[in-house]
Amino acid sequence: MHGGIWDRVADRLTGICQVHRVDLPGHGASAWPGAFTLDSVVDQLAAQFDRPIAVCGWSLGGQIAMHWAKREPEKIKRLVLVSSTPRFAERDDWPHGMAKEALRQFAAELKKNHTATLRRFLALQVRGSEGERELLAAMRASLFSRGEPDMDALRGGLEILRGADLRRVLPDIKTPALVVAGERDKLTPVAASRYLAAGLPNARLVVIDGAAHAPFLSHADEFAKHVVEFMSEQQHG
């Protein structure tokens, strides 16, 4: 998704902080640079900001945010990690991830019909959420509102989902973090968020009842309330 997905939250943070809604490389208005890895994305993001910032990352964006905080701790003063996980793909020692076969199937389907595949992926993100039907309609309406994403960027993002494993570096990410989970999330279960919050040295977990993988959309007011409280605590603490 492009940065427009954050519009509801940005409206609620007016007057609290300056909000930058990022189009990741190859998405929306951001050009495709020829690579989509955690390092290449962080390189491009870091070049846009010359002072410390707070970073809010959703799902894959959470992994990008954590990688950035690990690489440049002096630049990232706060993290809000939404429906994210240190590892998306299931392994023998990681039962909280998606089945490898499901991720392989998404990769194969992207080549055949990327529009239909993206729409199915959106359905997974809201499955079980309160207001699921309305939420899915809104996400589908905005999916291509800034143009279609670059196919290489989609494949690169999927490769990160399939291979990235941040479990070992969590103790090194000392940035204050708010971990937000949806109680009904089918893609990154609450157990993954609990692991993430426990593994980060300075983090706390918030679980939003009735939300699935996009709590900042389905429960925008509650989500924004937690973010504002977190930002205020860190400013005064």
Two tokens, residue 49: 């900001």
Per the listing, tokens 């939300």 go with: 211
Two tokens, residue 51: 């002072």
Q: Is 93 a catalytic residue?
A: no
Please list the pLDDT of the chain residue by residue as tens digits (237 residues).
899 999 989 999 988 889 999 999 999 999 888 888 999 999 999 999 999 999 999 999 999 999 999 999 999 999 999 999 999 999 999 999 988 888 888 888 888 888 888 888 888 888 999 999 999 998 888 888 888 888 889 889 989 999 999 999 999 999 999 999 999 998 999 999 999 999 999 999 999 999 999 999 999 999 999 999 999 885 544
Q: Is 59 a catalytic residue?
A: yes
Which one of the listed residues 2, 27, 59, 226 is annotated catalytic? Answer: 59
Which one of the listed residues 2, 96, 213, 219 is annotated catalytic? Answer: 213
Helix/strand/coil percent split, the chain, to 5: 50, 15, 35
For the chain, the domains span 3-236
Question: Could you write out the DSSP letters of every residue in 55-117?
Answer: EEEETHHHHHHHHHHHH-TTTEEEEEEES--S--B-BTTBTTSB-HHHHHHHHHHHHH-HHHH
- Contacts of residue 30, Cβ cutoff 8 Å, sequence gap at least 6: 22, 23, 24, 44
Report the side by side order of strands in the sheet with 53-58. Answer: 53-58, 76-82, 177-182, 203-208
Which one of the listed residues 185, 193, 218, 219 is annotated catalytic? Answer: 185
pLDDT of residue 207: 98
pTM of the model as a whole: 0.93
Question: If you classify domain 3-236 with CATH, what class do you get?
Answer: alpha beta
Q: Is 213 a catalytic residue?
A: yes
